[in-house]
Structure 1
């Protein structure tokens, strides 16, 4: 009897702020801007886009537009999103 397989959904693994922070940290370490934007979108969907919009002060449309694969959020949008996640942007030597 074949086993039932479920489609992988990263949102199922982003339940806590610590999991979300680790996910963003891994995305930032990879350095791919498209993946970083998509990772923030994954977290927004895991939290609930409406909730994330209220927390960040961004519109739902802005979240969907900026935080998708190929998205290109502005620095202001990125700062609002990370602040809502309880994170801050920083720079370290490579």
Structure 2
């Protein structure tokens, strides 16, 4: 039997469009841990040290904020998302009928 390498999403997050689509897909899941894991995957792809520098947060703080089950503050998430080079937007769930 051959050894199969474990899947690591970070290996495929190599450009801004792919990263944005990956994070958008994660936001569609109702489980907030899915989005946090997606941010962690992107952080790994971009480099945790660089992300720490860009956000002004310590590496240890980033790891804690992105750990499964973590409940990071809103401002931490916004700092992370912006440092990753993406923005969050909203759209109506149901189009209003006029």
- Please report the TM-score for the alignment, with normalisation by the length of structure 2: 0.83
Give the match's secondary structure for 1:89: coil
Unaligned runs of 5+ in 1: none
| Structure with the bigger percentage of helix | 1
**Could you list the per-position Cα deviations for residues 31-68 of structure 1 after superposition, in whole angstroms to 9, with x for gaps in the alignment?**
32111111111111111100111122222112101112
Structure 2 unaligned segments of length 5 or more: list them.
94-98
Structure 1 residue runs of 4 or more that deviate by more than 4 Å after TM superposition: none
Measure the CA separation in 1 of the matches of 2:19 and 2:11: 11
SS at match of 1:73: coil
RMSD over equivalenced CA pairs, Å: 1.4
Q: Which residue of 1 aligns with 2:44?
A: 45
Question: 1:54-65 residue pairs with structure 2 within 5 A?
Answer: 54-65=53-64
Structure (1 or 2) with the larger CA radius of gyration: 2
